[in-house]
């Protein structure tokens, strides 16, 4: 189970609790900045979340279990990441309120071959 928790020396962190075990939760995104709204990919190999590391909330992804590698997905603000049911696309709300879609491919099972294709605007706010 992936959840966020307010930290003592940090703002918000993402942790994983393995159901049916008695051990402490495992931190998966824990920095001096706030990590929120964590979502597992459908195959549970990736975590998408938003973080205030850049000074505003942006969407990031990282492998699970954590390896230290991670990629910033949004560039102009981003919150509320959600995976497409097959895990090949990530949706989020950009800083301007538009819903965005980012196709994501992990090639040959190697995290370093992650390829982010162009961002696609799905919806514009009503005027």
Average confidence (pLDDT) over 101-108 = 75
pLDDT higher for 118 or 44? 44
Q: Where are the domains of the chain?
A: 2-123
Q: What's the CA gap between 53 and 111, in Å, rounded?
A: 22
Q: Residue 10 above 50 pLDDT?
A: yes
59, HSE (Cβ side, Cα atoms, 13 Å): 26
| pLDDT at 107 > cutoff 60 | no
Cα distances (Å, whole numbers) of residue 59 to 38, 71, 113:
10, 9, 19
For the whole model, what pTM was predicted? 0.81
Fold of the CATH domain 2-123: Neuraminidase (2.120.10)
């Amino acid at each position: 189970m992936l959840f966020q928790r307010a930290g003592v020396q940090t703002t918000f962190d993402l942790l994983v609790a393995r159901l049916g075990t008695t051990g402490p939760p495992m931190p998966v995104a824990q920095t001096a900045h706030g990590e929120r709204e964590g979502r597992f990919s459908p195959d549970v190999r990736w975590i998408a979340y938003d973080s205030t590391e850049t000074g505003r909330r942006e969407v990031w992804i990282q492998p699970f279990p954590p390896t230290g590698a991670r990629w910033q997905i949004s560039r102009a603000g981003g919150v509320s990441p959600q995976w497409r049911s097959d895990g090949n696309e990530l949706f989020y709300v950009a800083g301007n309120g538009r819903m965005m879609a980012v196709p994501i491919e992990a090639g040959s099972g190697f995290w370093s071959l992650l390829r982010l294709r162009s961002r696609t605007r799905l919806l514009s706010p009503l005027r």
